[in-house]
Structure formats: structure tokens, C-alpha cells
Structure 1
Amino acid sequence: MLVEFRTKNFRSLRDEQVLSFVASTDKTLLDTHALGTGLKAAPHLLKSAVVYGANASGKSNLIKALQYMRGVVLESAAQQPGQRFDKLQPFKLDSASVSQPTEFEVTLLLNGVRYQYGFAMTAHRIVGEHLLVYKAFKPQRWFERHFDTESGKDIYEFGSGLKGAKNLWEGATRPNALFLSVAVQLNSDALRPLFDWFADGLVIFNELSPLSPQFTLQMLKQETPRKAIRDFLRATDNSIADIEVASTQTAVRSIHFDLTTGKREEEMGEQTLDEVKVHHTTDQGKAVFDLMDESSGTQNLLFLAGPILDILKKGLTLVVDELDTSLHTLLVQALVRLFHQPDGNTSGAQLLFTTHDTSLLDAYGLLRRDQIWFVEKNPDQSSTLFPLTDFSPRKNEALERGYLQGRYGALPFLRNPSLGLTR
């Protein structure tokens, strides 16, 4: 499970921002909305968290920061010597930040062991990397690396807790690669669980990684997963009787050119096309519709169904930017409640999402106060992340009204008196 995420100097997140899944001491909904860990430092971890803020406030940048961190972990071992991290974007609106490293850190609970891993980087190289492992209350420093500007070399320090060919892994790690990534590539069993969380335990849907129908389509071709998806959809539309994938073969012509000879070749082949058919049944009759005849909300819900059912089963962490896109507020509530159901979420799956749907704030039994976060854009265009608990709201406080009245900040600044937009 994700315990905490930190980032600094990434896009509009200039100063260090911290998102925590550690539950407060509030007992409200604790049995359903949090999971006990057995750790003194974090007795309970939240199963979900939501982030609110105005357009362009920095909500999406928080998700992109976690996404960028994952990308560096998974891909840096394949970087070519001297290759830059071209897509890295530090805060650009002050000269000091442009020249400073960007920092990322996650704290995870994996199989009862707490990992605190992070790194700092510039577009040219990794300038710092560290891993603390809490197998007991006192942490073990498995490794630490920092770039020494005087010698122009990376300096490594290893703890006794990290087993394996550490000198080999160090020697194979280039300046623009993470030690973690290289060590796992060279068969480090000790570091594998941490790497695997980034590879398989973290699922992100946003504009850079949009929701794909393929995962759900493959599940629909198997009887048991298909029934689970059907039941998932029927819970939101009781006219849906069944759902299936009809596969057809179609002829495809491909043309190839040989650039050396100028010869043109044509080949005929076959391609499989999958078409989703939705069966509806009412008291008045039955009909089968193509998926494109369904609403965009039903389509989005279908494509979410496969990944969400898989995430709940495996105990993964799902991150979604603008979960409410094309979904009715009651459907969004239903999706969030899936993560809170003890019978349905038995493996510690987590959900982090951004939204503009303020009605969720007062939906009965949906969210604890420590699950609600805000992002606000400052006058200097940097973003600040902060929890609702900073305002110590009363248990029965009308959160939606308080938010829209500006009590917690994170609202858009509108300056057009002729339209009545004057906040």
C-alpha cells in the first residue's frame, strides 16, 4: 500500500508537497475506509483519497509527478550513456528553481515491510538516491548515493541489510540511471519487491496514459470475468442483461516498399476485430446494442470495470485524474465505495483521484475528513497541496458549502464582474 508520496520542483509543485495515506486518530468509518497495518508509526492506512482544486491549480501535476517517478524507475536502466531526461520539467518561473534538482520519494508498505525510497535528478543525471527499509521499528539504510561535484563521481554507501552483488550493481550504474533499476535488472531479489510495485502495483489513468478498452475486452472473452463485469454494469443499469464480445475476421491489405530496389509488394491478410454487444432487457422487450450506441458514461464505466475489478482482487494502487469525466455523481460514489467494502477489497487496494464533483464532499458515509485534499495555485504560480484536516472541520460540517464559499481555499479566481464572476 502507498503510505506517502513526496515531490519537489516538478512543474508547478515548486516547494516540497506531501500526500499521505496515513489515517488520523479519528475513529469515524475506520473499519471500512482504512486498513490496519500493525505499525506504530502508521497504525491505519486509508483506502482512498481525493484531491480538489481549480482548473490549472496543479492537481494533474501531482499525478504526473508520481507517473514520472515510475517512468524513471522502470526505464532509466535502458538509458544510453549521456542521454538526457528531456521531459523533466522543474518549476520555470523563478531562476533558482530552474537550476535545482527535482525530487521524488515514496513510502510503501509491502508484505508488512515499510520501504522509503527516493531520488533527486536533473535533466542530465541522477544526483541523489536512497532507500530506508523498516523491518523493525528502527530503519535500515540499505543504500545511499550522492553526486560529489568536486570529484565528479557518485559516492555510494551501503548498509548490511542489502544483500547481493552491490559492487557489481554500483559499477554498472551510469550517471543517468537509478541504482535500484540497474540492480533489479541484474537480479537483485532484495530490491525486486520495490521495483515490482512501480511496474505492476501502480496503475495510472490520465491524459498521458488514457484508459484503454483492451484490458476489459480481454476479460470479456473469459466466462468468469465476463460475469463479474456484467454484474458490475447491472448494478448501475438494471436493463443490462448481458455483455459479450463478438470477434470477426476481416481482410487487410498491406503494402511494402523496398527502398533500395523501389519494388512495391502487396500482401493480403486477416485481422481480428472485436465488437462489444450489450444486451438490454425490459418489461416491454429485448434488444442488442453496439457499444457505440451506449452513452459515453456507460462506455467509460465498462472500460473502468475490468481494471477496477482486477485492482481490487490484486490489491493494487489506482490513480485516476478526473474520475468524474462522463460519469454521474452517483456512479463516482459507487466506484469509490467499492474500495471501502471490506468484502470486496480484501487485499488493500487503494484509490487516489482528482475531481471537480463537490457533491462527493457531503455524500453520506463516502469520505472521512482525512481523505480529502486540496491544491491551490499561489500568486507566484506555484502549487500548494494541503489536507482538509488543516482546517479542523466539525464532524457535521457542510463541507461542500464550506468549500464553495472559499472556507478551505483551492477555488478558481474569477475576475469578470459583467458575468457575475468576482471571487
Structure 2
Amino acid sequence: MLVEFRVKNFRSLRDEQVFSMVASKDQTLHDTHTLGTGLKAAPSLLRSAVVYGANAGGKSNLVKALQFMRGVVLESAAVIQPGQSYALQPFRLDDCSASEPTEFELTFILDGVRYQYGFAMTAQRIVSEHLLVYKAFKPQRWFERRFDEASGKDLYEYGPGLKGAKSLWEGATRPNALFLSMAVQLNSEALRPVFDWFANRLVIFNEQAQLSPHTSIQMLKQAQGRQQICDFLTAADISIDNIEVVTRKVPGQAVHFDLLAGRTEVRSEEVEEHQLRFSHVTEQGRAVFDLVDESSGTRNLLFLAGPVLDILQKGLTLVIDELDTSLHTLLVRELVRLFHRPEVNTGGAQLIFTTHDTSLLDASDLFRRDQIWFVEKDREQASTLVALSEFSPRKNEALERGYLMGRYGGVPFLNHTLGLQH
């Protein structure tokens, strides 16, 4: 479960921004909208959170920052080559920030243990890295790494909690690689849970990692999976009785790389094509439709159903940028409510998404005040992230109206002098 994410000097996020899933002491909707952790420092976490902001305000950059951090963890040791630079974009509208490192830190809970991991980096190298582990109330500093400019070397300090071949891992870690990633590649069992959380328990969908229908189609091929997806769509008020997958072989092409000859070859091969057939049943009769006959909202929800069902079952953290661009507002509401139903969300899954859909703010019992966040840019084009709870709105306050009036920020600066010139 994600507890907190910090980022500094990434794209428009110039100053340190803190996004937290720690629930406040407010008992409103506590049983359905929060998760118990058993930890004194953060006894309850939120099951969902929504982020609002104007176009180009920075809300997508928050998702990209989390995605970039995940990418460095997964690829710095195995994919990034020695001497290779990262496509890092610090805040570039002031000279100071443009030359400073970008900083990331993420806190999560796994199997009752709180991990706090972070690093700072430039395009050329990692300049610092640390891991705190809370197996008791007080943290154990498992390792800390920092680049010493005077000697041109990375300096390491280790705590007693980290076991294993630390000297080997340290010696193998390149300047542009994370110690965490390299140690796991060299079979560190102690650090693998941290790496695996980023790899397997954090799911991100945005323009750079788009939703694929593969998971849903594979589930539809099995009776149990097909029933689960139909039940999922029914819970979202889409009355589909059954979905049939018709698979056939069709002519296609595949690209093969010949290692010995050092060339690629395009071969004609048969590939699988999947056709989906939807059975709708009403009191007046039954009809079968193809995928193209269904609405775009139904198609998008279908392709989201497989990953979401897997996420709900396994208790993963799902982050989606611009959820309202692919789903109707009523479908967005039902999707959020699925994460709030303890009988459905049995694994402690979390949903975090950005949106422009202001109607969600006044939807009955959809969000607590601490689940709503706003991002806006100041006059220096730096983005600021703030929670609605910091504005202390009244219990029955019209949140949508207040937001559109600019009471909480996150709306565009409008130039009212624009118009026709006479």
C-alpha cells in the first residue's frame, strides 16, 4: 500500500511536493474509504484519491514523476548502459533548479513493514540513495549512499539490518545505477521486496503506458474470468449477460532477428485474432453485438476490467492519468466505488487518478475531504500540490462550485480581456 510520495525538481514540480494517502482522523466514511494498517504512525490509509488541475497545471507530471522513479528502479541496473544518460527533465525556468538534482522518495507498506526509499539524481548519475525500514516504531537505516565530489566516489554507510554481500553489490554499482537495483540483480533477498513492490505492486496507466486489452481477453477465455468480468460490468450498471471470445488464425507478419547474421527478417505467419461477442438480455428479448457496436465507454471499461479485477484481488496500487477521457462520469463513479467496497476490494487495493470531471466532487459519499487534491501553477510556472482538507471546507459545502470559483486552486488563470477587437 502506498503511504506517501515526494518529488522535487521534476518538470513543473520545482519545489518539493508531498502526496499522501494517510487518512486524517475524520471518521467520515471510515469503514469503507480507508484501510487499517496496524501501525501507530499511519493507522489508516485511503483506498482512493483524486487529483484535479487545469490543463498543463502539473497533475500529469505527478503521475510521470512516479512513473519515472519506477522506471529508474526497474531499469538502472539491467537496461541502462555504463555512461548512458537519463532523459531527465528538471525545472528549467530558473538557472538554479536546472542545475540541481531531481529527488524522489516513496513510502509504502508491505506485509506489515513500512519502507521509505528514495534517491536524488542528475541526467548523468545517482547523487544519493537511502532506505529506511520500520520493522519497529523506530526506523532502521539499511543503507545510505552519497556522491562525494571531492573524491569523485560514492560513499556508503550500512546499518545492521541489511544482510548480504554488501561489498560485492557496492563494487558492482555504476554511477548511473541504483544500489538497490544492482543488489537485487545480484540476488539480494533482503532488498528484493522493495524492488518487487515497484515492479509488481505499482500499476500506472497514462499516455506513456497505455491500457491493453490483453489481460481482459485472457480472462474472458476462462469461465471463471468471464463471469467475473460480466459481474464487474453489471456492478457498473452495464447489463451484459455474457461475452464470447471467438479466436481464429489470420495471415500476419512477425519480425525475427538473426543473431548470427546480424539482420532482421520479416516473415509471414499466422497470428491469432480475437472477436468479442456481447449478449444483452432484456425482458423483451436477447441480442448479440460485436465490439464495435458497444459504446466507447463500455469498451474502455471492458479493457480496464481485467487489470482492475487483478488489482483488487492482489491488493495493488493503481495510478491512472486522465481517467475521465476514457470513461463516462457515471462509470468513473462506479469504478471508484468498487475500490470502496470491502467485500469487493478484499486485498486492500488503492486507486489514484487525475481528472477534469468536477461533477465527482459533489457525488454523494464518493470521496472524503482528504481524498481530494489540487495542482496548480504559480506565476513562475511551478506546480503546487495541495489537499482539499487543508482548506477546511464545511461539511455540506458545494465543492464543485467552490473549485470552479477558484477557492481551492487548480483552475486555469483566465484572461477575461480576450475577445474580438473592434
TM-score using structure 1 length: 0.94
Distance in 2 between the 1:159 and 1:387 partners?
35
Distance in 1 between the 2:289 and 2:392 partners?
50
CA pair 141-240 structure 1, distance change in 2 beyond 3 A: same
- 1:220-277 per-residue CA deviation (whole Å, 9 max, x = no partner) reads 111101111011123345542211211011133679999x99xxx9965321111111
- 1:28-53 per-residue CA deviation (whole Å, 9 max, x = no partner) reads 11111111112121111111111001
- The answer as to 2:176 corresponding to 1:193 is no
| Structure 1 unaligned blocks of 5 or more | none
- The answer as to 2:64 corresponding to 1:80 is no
Give the stretch that moved more between structures: 307-316 or 74-83.
Answer: 74-83
CA pair 383-253 structure 1, distance change in 2 beyond 3 A: closer
- 1:178-235 per-residue CA deviation (whole Å, 9 max, x = no partner) reads 0000011111111111110100000001000011111111111111011110111233
1:245 is matched with which residue? 245
Give the stretch that moved more between structures: 288-297 or 152-161.
Answer: 288-297
Displacement after TM superposition at 1:286 (Å): 2.5
Give the letter aligned to residue 93 of structure 2. L
Give the stretch that moved more between structures: 400-409 or 97-106.
Answer: 400-409
Distance in 2 between the 1:403 and 1:73 partners?
36
Residue identity (%): 72
Displacement after TM superposition at 1:324 (Å): 1.2
User: Aligned ranges for residues 38-77 of structure 1 at < 5 Å?
Assistant: 38-77=38-77
CA pair 239-348 structure 1, distance change in 2 beyond 3 A: closer
1:5 is matched with which residue? 5
CA pair 186-344 structure 1, distance change in 2 beyond 3 A: same
Give the letter aligned to residue 81 of structure 2. Q
Distance in 2 between the 1:256 and 1:224 partners?
36
Displacement after TM superposition at 1:408 (Å): 0.8
User: Aligned ranges for residues 8-19 of structure 1 at < 5 Å?
Assistant: 8-19=8-19
- The answer as to 2:241 corresponding to 1:234 is no
Distance in 2 between the 1:164 and 1:196 partners?
18
Distance in 2 between the 1:141 and 1:230 partners?
47
Displacement after TM superposition at 1:365 (Å): 1.0
1:22 is matched with which residue? 22
1:115 is matched with which residue? 115
Please state whether the residue corresponding to 2:175 is helix, strand or coil: coil
Please state whether the residue corresponding to 2:325 is helix, strand or coil: coil
- 1:348-393 per-residue CA deviation (whole Å, 9 max, x = no partner) reads 1001000111111111111000001000111010100011111111
1:345 is matched with which residue? 345
Please state whether the residue corresponding to 2:323 is helix, strand or coil: coil
Q: Would the aligned equivalents of 2:58 and 2:376 in 1 still touch at CA under 8 Å?
A: yes
User: Aligned ranges for residues 405-420 of structure 1 at < 5 Å?
Assistant: 405-417=405-417
- 1:308-350 per-residue CA deviation (whole Å, 9 max, x = no partner) reads 1110000000000011124222211110011111111121100
Distance in 2 between the 1:228 and 1:221 partners?
12
Distance in 1 between the 2:267 and 2:31 partners?
61
1:95 is matched with which residue? 95
Give the stretch that moved more between structures: 230-239 or 361-370.
Answer: 230-239
Distance in 2 between the 1:367 and 1:266 partners?
52
Distance in 1 between the 2:256 and 2:117 partners?
48
Give the letter aligned to residue 207 of structure 1. E
Distance in 2 between the 1:241 and 1:344 partners?
20
Q: Would the aligned equivalents of 2:125 and 2:175 in 1 still touch at CA under 8 Å?
A: yes
Please state whether the residue corresponding to 2:322 is helix, strand or coil: coil
Distance in 2 between the 1:41 and 1:255 partners?
53
Distance in 2 between the 1:236 and 1:187 partners?
44
2:404 is matched with which residue? 404
Distance in 1 between the 2:111 and 2:37 partners?
10
Displacement after TM superposition at 1:416 (Å): 4.2
1:291 is matched with which residue? 291
Distance in 1 between the 2:140 and 2:322 partners?
38
CA pair 268-353 structure 1, distance change in 2 beyond 3 A: closer
Displacement after TM superposition at 1:419 (Å): 5.9
- The answer as to 2:181 corresponding to 1:158 is no
RMSD: 2.1
Distance in 2 between the 1:176 and 1:95 partners?
23
Give the letter aligned to residue 99 of structure 1. S
User: Aligned ranges for residues 246-261 of structure 1 at < 5 Å?
Assistant: 246-252=246-252
Q: Would the aligned equivalents of 2:233 and 2:239 in 1 still touch at CA under 8 Å?
A: no
Distance in 2 between the 1:269 and 1:383 partners?
50
CA pair 268-6 structure 1, distance change in 2 beyond 3 A: closer
2:312 is matched with which residue? 312
Give the stretch that moved more between structures: 47-56 or 30-39.
Answer: 30-39
Please state whether the residue corresponding to 2:324 is helix, strand or coil: coil
2:220 is matched with which residue? 220
Distance in 2 between the 1:257 and 1:133 partners?
44
